[in-house]
Amino acid sequence: MSSHPPSGEIQSAVRNAPGVPVIKDVNWGGLRTLYIKEVRRFFKVHLQTIWAPAITTLLFLIVFTIATGAKRPVQVGGIDIPFADFIAPGLIISQGMMGPAFANASFSLLAGKIQGTIVDYLMPPLSTLEVLAALLGGAMTRAFLVGFVVWCAMLLYPGVHVMPLHPLAVLWFGFLGALFLSLLGVLTSIWAQKFDHAAAVTNFVVAPLSLLSGTFYSVDRLAPAFRAFSHANPFFYIISGFRYGFLGSADSPVLIGSIVVLGVDIVLFVLCYQLLARGWRLKS
């Protein structure tokens, strides 16, 4: 008969030994470390991840205001809005925030799978919820940084007025929009097996939905069929609500848009959580 204690007793003794850290609830240290890793990753190439999308967004504003005339009014909710003031909020949220959020979130796990470093996300003592929260936090941090840079630049651009009338609406729809694209990016990162897959989602899903969302035009001027398509596009509600925060008027009811986008975010969050928990396309 062996004189050694059972392995279960040994493990229990090790866990309960003095000085051994025990994670009972949320691993705040691990969550903070992974979040900082995600933020440092895009800060190392800040010219590409922060300044490049900010400059691209400003070029959209310059080209469209010069080509169409910054004073040409657009009717939103029965109110005439100068064209430059109309497109500026949509550019901030769609090109300046949601695009970078998707790019950041769609890179993390995909790069780990391709480079063979996915174990760095799977092995640490982090729960699925903590890993997902860190990935989303890093993507949304990048989104708000780029959005803030674009907003500050537009404050200095002549003929454009981007002082918020309803700051809470700006923050709320900015949060919902950044979260939506961050979740879509995580979902893409889980599904994709190579960078071509992520690029396909960007080119054939994100870009069309963004450009056909009412950023550069009012959906009230569209034919009924195209108007119905716009109202089925979550980007439309995000941009409309974000624009309401600056202009005080919107193409759709703000409350309905908030409920629609929040519902889509919840569904995507549950889907991402389930796929991460199962390790779908992440574990061999």
pLDDT in tens, 32-44: 999 999 999 999 9
Asked whether residue 87 is domain-assigned, the answer is yes
Of 41-50, 62-71, 208-217, 235-244, least confident by mean pLDDT is: 62-71
- Whether 6 has a pLDDT exceeding 70, the answer reads no
Provide, rounded to the nearest whole percent, the portion of the chain with pLDDT above 90. Answer: 65
pTM of the prediction? Answer: 0.88
User: How large is the average pLDDT for residues 140-165?
Assistant: 94
Asked whether residue 194 is domain-assigned, the answer is yes
3-class secondary structure, 51: helix
CA distance 15 to 22: 7
Let me know how long the chain is: 284
Asked whether residue 20 is domain-assigned, the answer is no
User: Is 107:189 a contact under the CB 8 Å cutoff?
Assistant: yes
Asked whether residue 56 is domain-assigned, the answer is yes
Q: Please state the domain count of the chain.
A: 1
- Select the more confidently predicted residue: 212 or 14: 212
Asked whether residue 21 is domain-assigned, the answer is no
CA distance 177 to 92: 11
Q: Which two tokens stand for residue 81?
A: 């809005």
Apex 59 CA angle, 53 and 65, nearest 5 = 140
Asked whether residue 270 is domain-assigned, the answer is yes
CA distance 207 to 99: 9
pLDDT confidence bin for 284, thresholds 50/70/90:
low
pLDDT confidence bin for 105, thresholds 50/70/90:
very high
Asked whether residue 134 is domain-assigned, the answer is yes
pLDDT in tens, 256-266: 999 999 999 99
Q: What is the pLDDT of residue 7?
A: 44
CA distance 185 to 189: 6
Asked whether residue 1 is domain-assigned, the answer is no
Q: Whole domain around residue 36: which residue ranges?
A: 28-278
3-class secondary structure, 81: strand
